Amino acid sequence: MSDWDLIIVGAGSAGCAIAARASENPNCNVLLLEAGPDYPDLAATPFDLVNSHNNSYSAHDWSLDYEPVRGRTVAFPRGRVVGGSSAVNTTIALRSLPEDHAEWAEAGNTEWAWDRVLPAYRRMERDLDYGDAPYHGDAGPITIRRYPHEELLPQHQAFLETARQLGYPDCPDANAPDSWGSGPQPMNKLGRLRVSCAVGYLAPARIRPNLTIQADSLVHRLIIEKGRCTGVMVEKAGEISRIRAPLVVVSAGAILSPALLMRSGIGPGEELARHGIDVAAEAPGVGQNLCDHPALSVVCQVKDGALIDFDAPIIQTILRYTAEGSDKRNDLQIEQFSFTGRRGGPPLFGIAAVIEYQYGRGELRLASADPHALPVIDNRFCEDERDADRLVGCLKDALAFTRTGPLADMIEAVTFPDPARPNDDDSLKGLVRKRSGSGYHPSCTVKMGLASDPMAVVDQYGCCHFQDGLVVADASILPFVPRANTNLSSILVGEMIGEWLRTQPGRYGL
């Protein structure tokens, strides 16, 4: 006997979208499980979740850490709350590129070609600036706008003018399919309000009697019986129970989804055996192919301390461009940070250099079979020569902003990288290999692909190659990280698979 028609594990960006879309079918009883808390009353939502001017770093966090490079461990914030990381992030609403989708389609995921995903992008967004463009939407659950010039902080106005002086074109809409250059960030925020998936997707869906949201519920493992997933083992208030459904959708994110699969016996056999986990299905790709956006920031002390306001928006502008000699369009980003450092410290802002098309790959492993133990995240940034070379070039381009135009006029001194140290390419390559960090866009650890690909875990519809009754739907299924912050790409996965669950339930055995 099944308790539900559909169980969704994880109320993050994708999970919220799936729950909202699937529950549009009144005959489908949906249970959405979340390990963190739920705040159904927006007026009573904690300020860190409302405040889109900066991330929430600790109050609603999983307390993960990661190794960006071997031997260095730092915090890796991920949202543990209904809304997931969409409820704690910077609200950057950049789309993936058509070229990203062309590569995904070439790998056998034809449903993810640009012309196939564009309707979903349009369906998810309410673009207040370009909603009338044929490639935008104006009635979706996620409101998107860009800061007009008069709302930009002085350092962001200076960043855009300096970009012009350095020869980059103006880019008023970074989400236009063929765009590049510098301009305002598209952001899913209204004033200070973060329009998370909990706000955009779940708030209007909560009234539906066929949707139940159960928070503070940690899923220990999937129930696997005779080659089929039939439910989950979940802990709530210290008690463990079995909940059954003919279909389970795992949407716990690129870090926690593969960890849950491995705890359930789906993963690389050697890794499972190391933790005494019985193998339900040998799936060598689970936890592999970890992809992200390696980054390193130039840190500058400013002349006028009044510029630095920790209550102001941390991000407002973006530069997307292509590395010299690269055949991957917009494979680099430079971002102006309004402030960095600590309150009470010297007045600092940052200019981040970011690789958007990563060649190198990391992996995710279990620390133990204990569901309360957090996984090991090993990114291996810039071990691939192509990544190291392009991040060096991007860092040099970011440093050019400190020597040019009105942004340079604001800077008292560059404090990192140390100007007294050698700045030749070999020295900078050593620096990026030692000090680069995550753009906090983990993905690709349960990648989608053809069954003939031994490292593919799910097909293009999210259905697991190794178990019936199991779907994975979040950023973990992407074949590689898109050339954009993964906020919208994660929602896109939920929007696509949520619509398939609603309109093609037979595909999923519903």
- CATH number for the domain spanning 488: value is 3.50.50.60
**Residue-number span of the structural domain to which 364 is assigned:** 91-187+291-438
Please check whether residues 299 and 403 belong to one and the same domain: yes
Task: Give pLDDT, residue 189.
Answer: 97
List the end-to-end C-alpha distance of the chain, in Å, as a whole number.
Answer: 14
| Domain assignment present for 81 | no
Please check whether residues 240 and 161 belong to one and the same domain: no
Q: Which of 411, 438, 465 is the last residue of a domain?
A: 438
Please check whether residues 211 and 166 belong to one and the same domain: no
Report long-range pairs for 39-43 (Cβ below 8 Å, ≥24 apart). 39/81, 39/82, 39/198, 40/206, 40/213, 42/199, 42/203
- 47 CB neighbour count, 10 Å cutoff: 9
Task: Give pLDDT, residue 211.
Answer: 98
Task: Give pLDDT, residue 297.
Answer: 97
Please check whether residues 407 and 463 belong to one and the same domain: no
Instruction: For the chain, 510 residues long, give each residue's pLDDT as a single digit of tens.
Output: 578 999 999 999 999 999 999 999 999 999 999 999 999 998 999 999 999 999 999 999 999 999 998 888 999 999 999 999 999 999 999 999 999 999 999 999 999 999 999 999 999 999 999 999 999 999 999 999 999 999 999 999 999 999 999 999 999 999 999 999 999 999 999 999 999 999 999 999 999 999 999 999 999 999 999 989 999 999 999 999 999 999 999 999 999 999 999 999 999 999 999 999 999 999 999 999 999 999 999 999 999 999 999 999 999 999 999 999 999 999 999 999 999 999 999 999 999 999 999 999 999 999 999 999 999 999 999 999 999 999 999 999 999 999 999 999 999 999 999 999 999 999 999 999 999 999 999 999 999 999 999 999 999 999 999 999 999 999 999 999 999 999 999 999 999 999 999 999 999 999
Non-local (6+) Cβ contacts of 336 within 8 A are: 155, 156, 159, 315, 316, 317, 349, 350, 351, 352, 407
> What are the φ and ψ backbone dihedral angles of 67, each rounded to 5 degrees?
-110, 100
Please check whether residues 265 and 309 belong to one and the same domain: no
Please check whether residues 330 and 430 belong to one and the same domain: yes
Please check whether residues 429 and 462 belong to one and the same domain: no
How many domains does the chain divide into? 2
Please check whether residues 156 and 295 belong to one and the same domain: yes
Task: Give pLDDT, residue 2.
Answer: 73
Task: Give pLDDT, residue 71.
Answer: 84
Task: Give pLDDT, residue 1.
Answer: 56
Please check whether residues 296 and 417 belong to one and the same domain: yes
Please check whether residues 216 and 312 belong to one and the same domain: no
Please check whether residues 261 and 331 belong to one and the same domain: no
Handedness of CA 422, 426, 428, 430 (dihedral sign): negative
**Looking at the chain, how many residues does it have?**
510
Please check whether residues 154 and 223 belong to one and the same domain: no
Q: Is the peptide bond before 417 cis (omega within 30 degrees of 0)?
A: yes
